[in-house]
Amino acid sequence: MATKKIKPEDFNDFSLFEFMNSGTRDYIASRVLLISGLAGQGTVLAVTSLEKTLKTILIKMGHSFRADGKGHDLNNIIDKIKSTDPKFFTGEEEAFIRKINNAYRIRYFISEEEDIIIFLPSSKILLRLDKLYCRLIKSEPLLSISLGGKLFDMYEKGAMPKNQLLDKNVYYDPTLSETLENENQWCDKYEHIKSGKTFSQRFKPFPGSKINDKWDIHPDYLK
C-alpha cells in the first residue's frame, strides 16, 4: 500500500493558516508547562508545535509530508527543508530539534520497543524553543501568512494573555539567556531498557550550570 502524503494542493489559505495556528497553541502550552517545571510534558508539546510549524514551512516550499506515524519524525522534516534551503537552520537550531525529537516517544514510554534514555532540562529547553519558534513565526515563509492576524500575533498584541508568550522569553529579552542556562531547573529523566525490563523516571530540580552541552546525565542528578 502506498504511503499517504499530504500535498500543498490539499491546503487552501485558511486551512494552512489554521494548521499553523494549532502549532502556536501547542507552543504556548509547551511554554506554560516548561515554566511550571513539567519538562517531559512540555517537551512533548514543543515537538508537536515544531512538527506543525515545520510542516507548514514544507507546504510553503512546495513539499509534501507523510500522513502516517513516520511523518512525526522531525529529522526527516529538517532534511527535506534543508534540501530546498541548506542554510535555513542555524547549527544550534538544528542540533536542538534533533535532540528533542526523541521526546515524542515518552507519550507511550512503557510500550517502547527500543532501549532509550532521555534527559530533559526544562529551562534549557525553554530557552532554545523560544529562540527557534519566535524566529520561525516572524520570518518567511510564515511571516506572510495572514500577516498581523496569526494567533501568535494576538499574544504579542495582548488580545491573548501576553504573559504566556513573554514570560521568561529570551527572544524578547536576550539578557535572560545566562540565567536560563544556569539556574536551578526541573529536569526529567526517562529510561527504558527492554532487555532488563527497566522502566524508570526521575523528576527533580538540578543546577543548569552542571549540565553540559550534550545534556548528559550528571552523576549528582542520580544521587
The model's pLDDT over 70-93, given as tens digits with 9 standing for 90+, comes to 668 899 999 999 999 999 999 999
What is the per-residue pLDDT for 83?
95
222 in a structural domain: no
- The stretch 168-192 carries a mean pLDDT of 96
Report the number of distinct structural domains present in the chain. 1
What is the per-residue pLDDT for 4?
79
96 in a structural domain: yes
206 in a structural domain: no
* CA nearest to 200, candidates 210, 208, 189: 189
pTM of the model: 0.93
85 contacts: CB under 8 Å, gap ≥ 6: 61
44 in a structural domain: yes
Domain that residue 71 falls in: 5-114+122-175
* CA nearest to 30, candidates 53, 55, 14: 53
214 in a structural domain: no
Instruction: Give the rounded percent of residues in the chain with a pLDDT score beyond 70.
Output: 93
59 in a structural domain: yes
Amino acid in position 105: R
More confident residue, 154 or 70: 154
33 in a structural domain: yes
207 in a structural domain: no
Find the helix packing angle between 13-35 and 39-60, rounded to 10°.
160
The answer to whether the CB of 105 falls within 8 A of the CB of 116 is yes
pLDDT exceeds 60 at position 1: no
